Each structure stands twice: as structure tokens, then as C-alpha cells.
């Protein structure tokens, strides 16, 4: 009986420990394109920078197959850790754009959010991808 209790406690400790572990960040170089799913991060090798795709805040892009008055937009929340200082920013892409860019500090963040919405289809949060490339502004 004592062995069973020890085994159960061991499994519980292991399970608790694993739920606290996040995914290891991907590694990339400046100018290298990376695809991130919500909750995933990328470390830039030559910079002291990590970019984490937290989630899609809203997606009002006009779905394929629909007629809309406005093209809509998609907004993604990302956390940037630069030199140990964390800041959350919102990346916004208009519905008619095939990609967008935003400046942060001395960096140019180019990005594209997929998939594009289709009429009568729902996109789950886990289905989104943020295709991102970070370069230094020259």
C-alpha cells in the first residue's frame, strides 16, 4: 500500500511540474521568417529579444465569399522581451493586406496572420498562425 501511495504522489508531482513548463522558444536570426502558434515564442539569436504570440484579440476581416462594407482587421497580442524588459503590444493587419508591419524600438516586425476567414466557418484560437520576420531598421 505504501508503494502505491509513493507512486501516486510521484505521478502527481510530475504532472504538476509538467503543467508549469511552457514550450521552449524557437530560435531564429534577424530576417528569418518564423511561424508561431498562439502561446509560442521565438528568440532572436543575435539580439536579446524574445517575441511571444499570445493570442488573436479579434478578427473582423471580411470573410472570403462575403460582401462587406469594410475590409476588417485582425489584431494579435504579442509579448516582446527586449534586454529583459517585457512589453505587450498589439499587431494589427487590415483585411485587404497580404501582410503588415510595425516598428518597435529599432526593429521592423513584418507579419501575416493566417488562416483568412471564410464565410460560415469559425477559426479556433489554436488554428491561427503568426508568420513573423524581425529586422533592424536601417
Distance CA 53, CA 64 (A): 25
DSSP designation for 118: B
Residue of 13, 15, 37, 16 whose CA lies nearest to 25? 37
The runs of H, that is alpha helices, within the chain are: 2-19
Please indicate, yes or no, if residue 121 is contained in any of the structural domains.
Answer: yes
pLDDT value of position 44: 94
Residue 22's pLDDT band, with cuts at 50, 70 and 90, is low
* pLDDT confidence of residue 72: 96
| Burial class for 76, CB neighbours closer than 10 Å (0-12, 13-18, 19+) | buried
Residue 45 confidence (pLDDT): 83
DSSP character at residue 115: S
Which CATH number characterizes residue 44's domain? 2.60.98
pLDDT more than 70, % of the chain: 84
Question: Which pLDDT belongs to residue 113?
Answer: 97
Mean pLDDT of 78-87: 95
pTM score of the predicted model: 0.81
Q: Domain tally for the chain?
A: 1
Q: What is the pLDDT of residues 30-53, one digit of tens each?
A: 999 999 999 999 999 889 999 999
How many other CB atoms are there within 10 angstroms of residue 115's CB atom? Answer: 12
**Domain range for 62:** 24-136
> Where residue 10 falls among pLDDT bands split at 50, 70, 90?
very low
Q: Establish if 130 belongs to a structural domain.
A: yes
The answer, yes or no, to whether residue 60 has pLDDT greater than 80, is yes
In a domain, 6, yes or no: no
Amino acid at each position: 500500500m505504501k508503494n502505491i501511495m509513493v507512486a501516486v504522489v510521484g505521478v502527481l508531482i510530475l504532472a504538476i511540474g509538467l503543467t508549469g513548463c511552457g514550450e521552449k522558444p524557437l530560435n531564429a536570426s534577424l530576417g528569418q521568417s518564423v511561424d508561431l502558434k498562439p502561446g509560442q515564442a521565438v528568440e532572436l539569436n543575435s539580439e536579446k529579444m524574445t517575441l511571444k504570440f499570445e493570442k488573436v484579440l479579434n478578427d473582423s476581416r471580411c470573410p472570403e465569399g462575403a460582401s462587406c462594407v469594410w475590409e476588417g482587421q485582425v489584431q494579435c497580442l504579442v509579448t516582446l522581451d527586449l534586454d529583459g524588459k517585457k512589453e505587450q503590444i498589439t499587431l494589427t493587419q487590415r483585411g485587404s493586406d497580404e501582410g503588415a508591419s510595425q516598428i518597435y524600438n529599432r526593429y521592423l516586425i513584418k507579419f501575416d496572420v493566417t488562416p483568412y476567414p471564410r464565410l460560415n466557418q469559425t477559426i479556433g484560437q489554436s488554428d491561427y498562425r503568426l508568420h513573423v520576420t524581425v529586422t533592424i531598421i536601417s
